[in-house]
Each structure stands twice: as C-alpha cells, then as structure tokens.
Structure 1
C-alpha cells in the first residue's frame, strides 16, 4: 500500500445498516487512519450508500427513457444516468484507497422501489418515478450535508461535494416533471417506514465477483472527482458493466 492506508482495526466490517434515512449505527467511531485523514464508520457507510444509490437509480434512468410519457420525465432519466455514472466512478476510485468494500446490488428496500416503478405504466409510471426518487433524494440530502460538514477525510469530503451537486440536480429535475406531490414527499422523508435492518443494507459482494460498473452515457456532462495524490492502479477493474 506504500503507506497509503494504516488500519486501526484489522478489517473494515461491511456496514450492518444503510437505510436511506440512516447514516450509521456508530456516528463518529474512527475505524481507520489514512493519509487522507481518519475514516469514521459514517464516512465508510456514506461511500457505500452513494454506490448503492447508483445501483438502482441508474437502471431506472434507462427505464424512464423507455417508459416516460413526457419530455421532462425522460430528461430526468438522462440526469440519473449521467450523474450516477460519474458518482459510481468516484466511489470505485476512492473505495480501494480507503479499503472500503462496495456492494454490487442495491438493498432490498431499494429493489422494492425499482419494482414499484418498473411495474407501472403511463402516467402512473411518471408519478411513481418522480415521487419515489424525489423522496429518496430529499432524504439523502441532509445526510450529505452532515457528512460534508463533519468528515475529516478529504476523499470523503470530495465525494460529498460531488454527491451534493448531483442530488440537488436530481431533486430539481424530478420537480420539473410536474408529478411531485410535495406534501407526500415531505411526509415520507420525515416519517420513513420501520423496516428490518436486512432490508436497508445492500448485500456484501460475493468473494471474487467482478465489480459492477455503471457506464457513462456517450456524451456525459458529469465528471468523476479528481483525487489529489491518487495512486496509479487504485481503481477497480471495470467488469462487468451496466450500460
């Protein structure tokens, strides 16, 4: 590792709970000392959370291009694809540097969101798409702000900066669809359902499984973060792809 990472714990355990309304079960516990600053449990969970968000929102962006009934819904889909491809590249770039294990599939709760949206059609699809994604993005927005204002790790801070801009963009394009029920979205953001921990956590990847990569669109407008002092070869092997 060339001094890039000095662990204070033998290994970074995979997160046990990552609901979209939760950050961590142990807020400020430092689990590793790195050259980019201490890594806390909530820092680690945030990197996993950003990765998991892309694993369900990116495919739904593609579905919106096929099933959306208005130009605004299709445009929102394009923003999901573009933004999460860039965030995914950022997560895959910094995760090996911080010794963080990334999931290859979304959580059961997030898969439930996908099923609800994918199985609807017409205006009901537009409404489910806009409202579910507006609610989840609104919920994570506060988490990003907390991470950005409290983390002492510069890599996590850079990811939070990028995630803040992306999530705000996605909130905005969902609202521009005209399908968002703001009263419903606010209620669901502030009173999320009580779900078992297993529903809120993306499963750990199978040992030896290639990392899923969210491929950017042909003409992306979002770019991954530049990592100061990034070490060559730190990125993950880009296979297999979702694109």
Structure 2
C-alpha cells in the first residue's frame, strides 16, 4: 500500500480534527470568536468550547491507536510512540473531564463515525504497513492541530482554556517528535495533507453526544506510568 493511504484514510482523518458542530447545540454559529458564556475563569468563546471538545475527541481515537501500536508495532520506535500517545491523551483526557462541567461543556464518549472508521482501518493492517501508516497519519494529524492550539493559546481570555492549551501544546509537540523519531514519516505527503484538508459531511465528523445517564468514558494511563508529563489546568 505504501503511501497510498494519503488519498484514503489519511485524508479523511485530517477533516476529523476540524468538525464544526458543537455537542448539545441545535444551532451553531460560524463565528468562533462569539462569546457563549461568561464564567468566573473568563469569557468562553464558541471556538474555545470547540477546542475542548476536539481535545477530548482526539483522545478517544488516538489513545486506542497507542494501545494498538504497543501490540502490533514491529519496531521499538513505533511502540515508544504508542506509549506516548497513551500517556499524553490520558493526561489531556483528565483535564478535559475536569474543566468541562465547570464550563458547561458536553463531552463525547465515542469518536466521530469517521474517526472510528479510521481506527478500524489501522486495526486491519500489520507489519511494516501498520508502522508506516501509523507514523504518518499521527504525524499529520498532530501537525494539523498544532496550529489550532497556538491560536487558542494566543487569544483566549479564559484561564482554564489557556491552561489546557499549554498542556495540549506540550503533549502534541511530544507526539510530533516521537512520530518523527520512527524514521518513517514522509514529510512531503504529511505536509500536503495538512495544507489541503478534504471536505466531508458534518455528520461524518461530529462525535455523537452521550446518551443521558451514560457513564463517562475515562482514558486511564497504564499502571506504573506515573502522572501526565504535562501539567493539568489549574483552577483559579
């Protein structure tokens, strides 16, 4: 298959990082700077609520891919990258679950239909193909959201969102680095995919809201892994 993944599953994955809909809303504004709530931690914009949901949703498919890399990765570097995914997203997940009720944000319990399909795609691969596609897809998606994090961090007036952006920035940079250390990243292809996202239906890109009363899914770090390497948001 080689780099043919770029035209299929990989291109779909990029769009999943930028879905426009917010959970729990019947109407969504296109103005990401619109203030939707005044909180004791500062105003919350639509784009910032979108960011919290994106971070949670990212963990719901990247955390399982980390576990998959530990089982199926055939090189030490790929397995190490899997460990970083698990640890990093466990930490981010804890932060999202902590601040979401404080900011009245509904978090998903499952990834979007497109993201779930993407996980199934990698689950069907093995050996060198799995290694290559795992490294390139994750490098591309983390590179894509890196710019979003920077924008949120530089503009937010909400201290909880700012702290989450700090944590996400450190975690995503770490994940970019470990993917590159696999030696499998095709930079021409990944950069192309970052700058030319496909257009997909919103229904494919939006994780469904959890049914009423459903227990919240928790992404936990493996035993003995210690705490998240990056700090959690601090309540002020």
Match of 1:228 among 226, 231, 235: 235
Map of 2:47 onto structure 1? 42
1:100 matched to 2:100? The reply is: no
1:23 is displaced (CA, Å) by 6.5
Match of 2:147 among 119, 137, 142: 142
Unaligned runs of at least 5 residues, structure 1: 1-17, 230-243
Q: Which runs of 4+ in 1 moved over 4 A?
A: none
Provide closer, same or farther for how the CA distance between residues 221 and 76 of structure 1 changes in structure 2, counting only shifts above 3 A: farther
Contact 1:107 1:203 (C-alpha < 8 Å) held by counterparts? yes
What's the secondary structure of 1:32's corresponding residue?
A: strand
Provide closer, same or farther for how the CA distance between residues 86 and 213 of structure 1 changes in structure 2, counting only shifts above 3 A: same
- In the superposition, the TM-score normalised over structure 2's length comes to 0.86
Contact 1:61 1:77 (C-alpha < 8 Å) held by counterparts? yes
Provide closer, same or farther for how the CA distance between residues 225 and 106 of structure 1 changes in structure 2, counting only shifts above 3 A: same
Unaligned runs of at least 5 residues, structure 2: 1-14, 22-29
Tell me: higher relative CO, structure 1 or 2? Use CA pairs within 8 A at least 6 residues apart: 2
1:194 matched to 2:199? The reply is: yes
Moved more, 21-30 or 133-142: 21-30
Structure-2 separation of matches of 1:82 and 1:89: 11
1:113 is displaced (CA, Å) by 2.1
1:74 matched to 2:79? The reply is: yes
Map 1:1-243; keep pairs closer than 5 Å: 19-21=16-18, 25-218=30-223, 219-222=225-228, 224-229=231-236
Structure-2 separation of matches of 1:216 and 1:151: 29
Structure-1 separation of matches of 2:165 and 2:83: 21
1:104-144 Cα shifts (integer Å, max 9, x gaps): 00112212221221110100000111111111101100000
What's the secondary structure of 1:205's corresponding residue?
A: coil
1:27 is displaced (CA, Å) by 1.2
Map of 2:9 onto structure 1? none
1:226 is displaced (CA, Å) by 4.4
Q: Work out the number of aligned pairs and report it.
A: 212
Structure-2 separation of matches of 1:147 and 1:213: 25
- In the superposition, the TM-score normalised over structure 1's length comes to 0.84
